[in-house]
Amino acid sequence: MAETRESLTSYKHRLGDALDNRFLRQAMDKFAVAYRASRENAFAGMDVAELIQQVADIKAAAIDDNKALLAQFVTKARAHGITVHLADTAEDANRIIGEIAQKTGSKKIVKSKSMTAEETHLNKWLENLGLEVTETDLGEWIVQLRKEGPSHMVMPAIHLSRFQVADLFSDVTGTDQDAEIERLVKVARKELREKFVQADMGITGANYALADTGTIGIATNEGNARLVTTLPKVHVALVGIDKLLPTIADALTVNRILPKNATGQAITSYVTWITGPSECKTTPSGKREMHIVFLDNGRSNIAADPVFSQVLQCVRCGACANVCPVYRMVGGHQMGHIYIGAIGLITTYFFHGLENAKNLVQNCTNCGACKAVCAGGIDLPHLIKEIHARIQDEAGHPLQSLLLGKVLKNRKLFHRLLRTAYLAQKPVIDKNTGPAPKEKGPGFLRHLPMIFSSDHNFRRLPAIARVPFRDRFARLNRPVENPRFTIALFSGCVQDFVYPEHLEAAMRGFAQHNIHVVFPMDQSCCGLPAVSMGETSAARDVALQNLDAMAMGCTNYDAVHYIVTLCASCASHLRHGVPKLVRDYAPEKAAAFADKVVPFSVFMNDILGIAPEAGAGADAGRKTAFHSPCHLCRGLGVHDSPHELIEKSGNQYVPTDEEETCCGFGGSFSTTFPAVSNEILTRKLDDVTGSGADLLVTECPGCVLQLRGGAVKQGRKLTVCHLAELLYPSS
Amino acid sequence: MAEPTTGRKKDDSAAVFTQKASLVSACVHGVKDWAAALDKTLALLAEKPPLDPQVPSEKKTDPSARILAAPNLDHERFRHLSEKCGPYPHIQLIRDNLRNFPGGIDMGVTTADYGIADTGTLVINSNEEETRLATMLCEVHVAILGVSDIRETALSMTGELAALTREKGSYTAFVTGASRTADIERVLAIGVHGPLELHIILVEDD
């Protein structure tokens, strides 16, 4: 578990240690691959998007209605004889539970797994009162014995090997234990049975709290929660107020997704529904004493926040960690404070404060994999950026981020700096472009400029072009008679200044297909880098500038049929990010603009419907893998168009397992966390190489920068290019 | 109670139930009637290896001894089972005071109120402590379920579930397969804090 006030440097050291931990890496990678398959299997034949929408609707309505549901639950529960407590803060909850233990004379406590109890650090509190607390979920027991926190919300010990567990159990039992999983599980069965039998009090969480009947629902696999709620004389359930739902039908709807998303199971082995004190033959009344402690701890404030209320749609399945490329590399202790994964990056700020959240929240490539699987339909990547911005507003913006924001807001200054950068780098450009003779760019930077530290050197960085695309456009643009379409080209800054050859290739294609192209010179960076650095106001300024620039004096953008971009990140940001940023400034304008934005592959394949062999290069017929930019597959929902274009180019499209996994670029992510970025990149390139492809095509200059730079640096026999270059190579 | 289902639908649901329960390594056995269900229970008990006590016991027990708990069978059926156990003195048939067996019992046999086909789940009214303990402390859980009590999905029987769960003091269990974990290296292991095996006996004529 992270100490508070950890510096970014020390956090990076922790990440480095995790990356060096070979077992952790293997365990996490195996898990990521297996999870993907088992989740797909669990949802086979179901309309997942619709199920998620149902859950999102149910949870959103329940959050809106939270106060009424709580009141209804409390009335019912009290009628059943449950003592209900309301805890405003984590400390209140701990104190209440400690007092229950003292009043009931409980000395020994057994617990079943509860993330809410982890949130409040309940065990530490109770142990300080001299109580013995035993976690009975196998994974929780293991991490408790190791004095660690859980590294995953549903698989707390996923970071450990059987050998580590065997050593631990040998210590606990005083006899040597074999590293055989079946036997280790039996050791826990035996060791913990005693604890169940001796316990005075049982503590659980709850997955559901049903207002209409005062019932709690608990999902488990091991059966420990059943013993925890049956053998001891006292049962205390610690429940976040976000777990309230109107009826069992709502809970059953959520429960159709929760286990499938968590572990790929159709349902957990046990779902237990408890409505008030149940029979307990060892008490004088014949009933167990039952308490429910409802925890707020900031949840009411979240519920009232128009941006963040959706955080409470989380059902704690942990899927956002399971698919996260960063989690896959570094594990949960590095990818969360108490709550793990994308949701943890957000809730840490609310539940455990800015200091614990400030480093974590930057550790996101913004790939959107979490959003695509979230059971509650939460826009996690967007909220992570919002938290990042909020933290910077509260704690102060770092100089680098402030400068970036200032520069981006002023297009002329930004572009002048890029031109100056070309001159500054001249002495360090390496003309040798590696094993890709067709690549005609200005080459790679031989040494990194001083501003980069040495660990950025994991990929060759491209040089800035001598002549940016904007200065080439007039020469490239030929008048078209009776054009099929008129399009505005949005270049984005990386293609404008680093890879103008991508846009040049596209211009050849547009000319072949009778497309009239306009290039508004006042367009600037799309603003995504500012968003990813937490500079919301700069991002908004840039968005408004672009809205004006691309309108070219017309209303509703009706001067053009489409706004085409070769950068999937720009496309996704222009279509979805910009309307969000300017919703209080120019919502209609932004909507009209967003409607016109299409990525290159969609324009060529689906709108123009280009024929096969169009522009097929001389060395066609190569086995070609596609790296789908996160902002293309998940950001824009484009999956097949690029495959079809690869086939149309005369090459053979080869599917790869990790096609839609992030390359690790993530804009500022790769410069903030170069070591993690490098490992994600290497895993990606291994997958491509393993498929037998020797050509890797993508549709985003950032991905080209990362993948080509990595392929060259690692000496791989792999050519990386943009889809436009594949279709319309220079002759 | 549930509206009557057509014979065709009943067969489909039973087939789906059997398939889904088998996927989570429950063993499903079809029998004609209750008498056959009790015979099957005793046959399963006869095959069962001796108990592995989970807490140290003072007295050495006879390796042939078997403890069979049947807390929620109605009086008539319990008597019937008791008669069937008659010829086997090594079987200790109990229905009360299961707290006296913290180290475990060989087999718990219970009725199940409903089956849910699409997940292979049993719904068991566990309001009574003895029912809970029998299904938690046993090494082998045998659940007897009437074919006519199988429903297609949990959502299709919310009325019946609401009726079970709204009662004061209600403790309703969904049981799907044996107790399991994947907490070590995400490798599936059966039998953590609950039964090591789950057998479901489907009774045609309930």
SS (H, E, C) A74-134: HHHHHHHCCEEEEECCHHHHHHHHHHHHHHCCCCEEEECCCHHHHHHCHHHHHHHCCCEEE
Give A-chain residues touching B118 at CB under 8 angstroms: 266
B122: helix, strand or coil: strand
Kindly report the pTM of this predicted structure.
0.92
The identity of residue A256, as a single letter, is R
Q: Which of residues 62-91 of A touch B (CB under 8 A)?
A: 79-81
The burial class, CB within 10 Å (0-12 / 13-18 / 19+), for A284 is exposed
Q: Is the pLDDT of residue A43 over 90?
A: yes
B105 CB neighbours in chain A (<8 A) are none
Question: A161 contacts in B (CB within 8 Å)?
Answer: 185
List the single best residue of B101, B158, B183, B197 to mutate versus A (max A Cβ within 10 A).
B183
**A184: Cα separation from own chain's centroid:** 33
How confident is the model at residue A424, as a pLDDT?
79
More confident: B63 or A143: A143
Q: Give the pLDDT of residue B205.
A: 78
User: CB-CB: which of A27, A157, A248 is closest to B161?
Assistant: A248
pLDDT over 70 at A629, yes or no? yes
Kindly indicate the confidence band of residue A620, based on its pLDDT and cuts at 50, 70 and 90. Answer: confident
Residue with the larger pLDDT of the pair A463 and B66: B66
Say what the pLDDT of residue A141 is: 96
pLDDT of residue A420: 87
Angle at B142 between CA B137 and CA B145, to 5 degrees: 130
Q: What pLDDT sits at residue B69?
A: 98
The pLDDT, as a whole number, for residue A731 is: 75
As for the ipTM of the complex, it is: 0.95
Residue predicted with more confidence, A452 or A645: A645
CB contact under 8 A, B183 and A138: yes
B170 touches chain A (CB under 8 A): yes
pLDDT band with cut points at 50, 70 and 90 for residue A446: low
In this complex, is the C-beta atom of B192 within 8 Å of any C-beta atom belonging to chain A?
Answer: yes
Taking phi over 0 as left and psi of -120 to 50 as alpha, with beta for the rest, A206 belongs to beta
Judged by CB atoms within 8 Å, which residues 155-174 of A form the interface with B? 155-158, 160-162, 165
Residue B170 to residue A272, Cβ atoms within 8 A: no
| B132 neighbourhood in chain A, CB within 8 Å | 226, 230
Cβ–Cβ contact B158 with A under 8 A: yes
Cβ–Cβ below 8 Å for A193 and B55: yes
* Average pLDDT value for residue range A392-416: 89
From chain B, pick out residues whose CB is under 8 angstroms from the CB of A269. 24, 175-180, 194
The answer to whether residue A358 scores a pLDDT higher than 50 is yes
> d(Cα A532, Cα A452) in Å, to the nearest integer?
19
Residue A619: pLDDT band by 50, 70, 90 thresholds?
A: low
Give B166's contacts in chain A (Cβ within 8 Å): 212-213, 215, 275
Q: How far is CA A669 from CA A107, A361, A490, B81, in A?
A: 49, 11, 24, 68
Residues of A in contact with B181 (CB under 8 A): 138-139, 185, 221-222
Q: Residue A400: its pLDDT value, please?
A: 82
Query: Residue A439 pLDDT > 50, yes or no?
Result: no
Residues of chain A in contact with residue B129, where contact means CB-CB under 8 angstroms, are: 230, 278-281
Q: How many CB pairs under 8 A join A and B?
A: 196
What is the pLDDT confidence band of residue A239, given thresholds at 50, 70 and 90?
very high
Task: List B116's β-bridge partners, or say none.
Answer: B121, B151
Distance CA A136, CA A198 (A): 13
B102 chain-A contacts, CB cut-off 8 A? 193, 196-197
Rounded to an integer, the average pLDDT of A176-201 is: 95
Per-residue pLDDT band for A617 (boundaries 50, 70, 90) equals: low
How many angstroms separate the CA atoms of B9 and B32, rounded?
A: 18
Q: How sure is the predictor about A399, in pLDDT bands with cuts at 50, 70 and 90?
A: confident
- Interfacial B residues in 92-151 facing A (CB < 8 Å): 99, 102-104, 118-121, 127-129, 132-133, 135-136
The answer to which of A204-213, A225-234, A471-480, B50-59 has the lowest mean pLDDT is B50-59
- Write out chain B residues lying below 8 Å of A273, CB-based: 161, 164-165, 170-174
Distance between CA A165 and CA A178 in Å, rounded? 10
Which A positions 282-341 lie with beta carbon below 8 A of chain B? 282, 287
In this prediction, residue A426 carries a pLDDT of 73
CA-to-CA separations, A423 to A417, A420, A498, A502, B84, in angstroms, rounded: 10, 5, 13, 22, 96
The pLDDT-based confidence of A403 (bands split at 50, 70, 90) is confident
Residue range A50-60: average pLDDT? 98
Question: What pLDDT band is residue A352 in, cutting at 50, 70 and 90?
Answer: very high
Predicted local distance difference test score (pLDDT) of residue B1 = 42
Please tell me the predicted confidence (pLDDT) of residue A615. Answer: 53
- pLDDT score, position B58: 59
Inform me whether the pLDDT recorded for A38 exceeds 60: yes
Tell me how far apart the alpha carbons of residues A375 and A367 are, in angstroms, rounded to a whole number. Answer: 17
What is the pLDDT at residue A479?
Answer: 87
Q: At B116, is the pLDDT very low, low, confident or very high (cuts 50, 70, 90)?
A: very high
Residue type, A556: N
Cβ within 8 Å, pair B184-A247: no
Pairwise CB contact (< 8 Å): A230 & B183 = no
Question: In this structure, are residues A557 and A586 in contact, taking their beta carbons and an 8 Å threshold?
Answer: no
Is the torsion defined by CA of A5, A9, A12, A14 positive or negative? Answer: negative
Helix (H) or strand (E) holding A145: helix A138-145
Q: Residues of B with CB below 8 A from A139's CB?
A: 181, 183-184
Is the model's pLDDT at A450 over the cut of 50?
Answer: no
> Does the structure show a pLDDT above 80 at B120?
yes
Position A442 pLDDT exceeds 90: no
Is the CB of A223 less than 8 angstroms away from the CB of B193? yes
On whether the CB atoms of residues A317 and A258 are closer than 8 A, the answer is yes
User: CB-hemisphere CA count at 13 Å for B153?
Assistant: 8
> Which token pair is A99?
């007092």
Would you call B23 and A266 a contact, using CB atoms and an 8 Å cutoff? yes
How long is chain A?
731
Please check whether residue A339 is in contact with residue A347, taking contact to mean a CB–CB distance below 8 angstroms. yes
Range list of H helices, A513-553:
528-532, 536-551
Question: Which residues, in sequence order, are bridge partners of residue A444?
Answer: A430, A462
Q: CB B194 to CB A269 under 8 A? A: yes
To the nearest whole angstrom, how far is the Cα of A64 from the nearest Cα of chain B?
A: 24
Average pLDDT, chain A: 93
Cα B160 from Cα A336, distance rounded (Å): 41
- Residue A618: the pLDDT is 56
pLDDT range class, residue A96, cuts 50, 70, 90 = very high
Question: Which residues, 6+ apart, have CB-to-CB distance to A531 below 8 Å?
Answer: A385, A389, A539, A573, A577, A581
- Residue closest to A363 by CA, chosen among A338, A341, A339, A386: A341
- Which of A210, A221, A278 minimises the CB distance to B181? A221
Q: Which amino acid is at A672?
A: T
Residues in chain B: 206
The torsion angles phi and psi of A646, rounded to 5 degrees, stand at: -60, -45
| Residue B49 contacts A where some CB pair is shorter than 8 Å | no
Question: In this predicted structure, what is the pLDDT of residue A343?
Answer: 97
Task: Please give the backbone phi and psi of residue B34, each rounded to the nearest 5 degrees, phi first.
Answer: -60, -40
In this structure, how many other beta carbons lie within 10 angstroms of the beta carbon of residue A570? 29
A407-426 mean pLDDT: 87
Other beta carbons within 10 Å of A147: 7
pLDDT band at B9 (very low <50, low <70, confident <90, very high): low
Q: Which of A235, A238, A204 is nearest to A86 (CA)?
A: A238
Query: Could you read off the pLDDT of A554-584 as tens digits, one per residue?
Result: 888 999 999 999 999 999 999 999 999 999 9
B57 touches chain A (CB under 8 A): no
Q: Which carries the bigger pLDDT value, residue A193 or residue A427?
A: A193
Residue B6 — pLDDT band, cuts 50, 70, 90? very low
Q: Does B69 touch chain A (CB under 8 A)?
A: no
How far apart are alpha carbons A21 and A29 in whole angstroms? Answer: 12
d(C-alpha A393, C-alpha B3), whole Å = 60
pLDDT tens-digit readout, A681-710? 999 999 999 999 999 999 999 999 999 999
In this predicted structure, the answer to whether residue A105 has a pLDDT above a threshold of 70 is yes
Taking 90 as the threshold, does the pLDDT of residue A2 lie above it? Answer: no
Written as one letter, the residue type at A101 is A
Contact status, residue A569 vs residue A529, Cβ threshold 8 Å = no
B102 CA to chain A: closest CA distance, Å?
Answer: 7
